[in-house]
């Protein structure tokens, strides 16, 4: 069986990655799943362990690093985030397309390990839209929000590292464009 494709999706906070992926997974005719990252940060209201993230202690995270169980990892905003290998390889071997929603540093590490991966950068047409979305979430204090905006500017500078850019100003259009990038990986690409 041909392994399923690996899709790497990155973009600044507020670009709508979670919303776009949720919509894509709901309507995809192909076997797709989102990899669930591990993190040491506490869950936000409404987040569920094993669905949104694998919420782990710093000690558990360090042990996973030492055991080589993570494809990539980083410390972001004071917490660890990483991609467990078992969230990727086992599913791809069964023909599933696996979507990684990771930051630009993690994406660079995974691209080096999986040069056949499909890379997509999700963005909006203006930085003001990011700020509006972050403020609307209501999950950040002002200092944290300003840090995220600063990080977004650095991430936008790495947009050229990705094969495709999808603009998420209109959810339906963004989902369609992402689906159009992924579909050839299942149908006619060898």
**Is residue 189 over pLDDT 60?**
no
Same fold across 1-35+95-190 and 36-87: no
Closest listed residue to residue 107, CA positions, set 72, 66, 154: 72
Query: Strand order of the sheet with strand 38-39?
Result: 54-55, 38-39, 79-84, 70-76
Is the model's pLDDT at 115 over the cut of 80? yes
Mean pLDDT across 147-164 = 86
pLDDT at 70 over 70: yes
Average pLDDT value for the chain? 90
When pLDDT is averaged across residues 52-65 and rounded to a whole number, the result is 97
Determine what percent of the chain is predicted with pLDDT higher than 70: 97
pLDDT at 25: 96
96 — pLDDT class (breaks 50, 70, 90): very high
**97 has a pLDDT exceeding 70:** yes
- Tell me what pLDDT residue 190 has: 44
What are the residue boundaries of the structural domains of the chain, listed by start? 1-35+95-190, 36-87
pLDDT of 14 higher than 50: yes
> Closest by alpha carbon to 107, among 127, 126, 81?
81
| Predicted local confidence at residue 43, as pLDDT | 95
Which CATH number applies to 36-87? 3.30.63.10
Tokens in use for 162? 């990705």
Strands (DSSP E) found in the chain: 6-10, 32-34, 38-39, 54-55, 70-76, 79-84, 97-101, 118-123, 164-167
Q: Is the domain 1-35+95-190 a CATH 3.40.50.300 member?
A: yes
């Amino acid at each position: 069986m041909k392994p399923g494709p690996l899709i790497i999706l990155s973009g600044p906070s507020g670009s709508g990655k979670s919303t776009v992926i949720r919509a894509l997974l709901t309507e995809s005719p192909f076997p797709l799943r989102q990899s669930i990252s591990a993190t040491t940060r506490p869950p936000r209201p409404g987040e569920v362990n094993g669905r949104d993230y694998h919420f782990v202690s710093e000690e558990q995270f360090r042990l996973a690093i030492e055991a080589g169980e993570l494809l990539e990892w980083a410390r972001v905003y004071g917490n660890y985030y990483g991609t467990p290998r078992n969230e990727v390889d086992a599913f791809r071997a069964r023909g599933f397309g696996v979507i990684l929603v990771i930051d630009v540093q993690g994406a660079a590490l995974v691209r080096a390990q999986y040069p056949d991966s499909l890379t997509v950068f999700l963005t909006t047409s203006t930085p003001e839209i990011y700020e509006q979305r972050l403020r609307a979430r209501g999950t950040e204090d002002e200092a944290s929000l300003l840090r995220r905006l600063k990080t977004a500017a650095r991430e936008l500078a790495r947009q050229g590292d990705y094969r495709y850019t999808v603009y998420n100003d209109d959810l339906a259009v963004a989902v369609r464009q992402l689906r159009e990038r992924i579909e050839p990986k299942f149908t006619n690409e060898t």
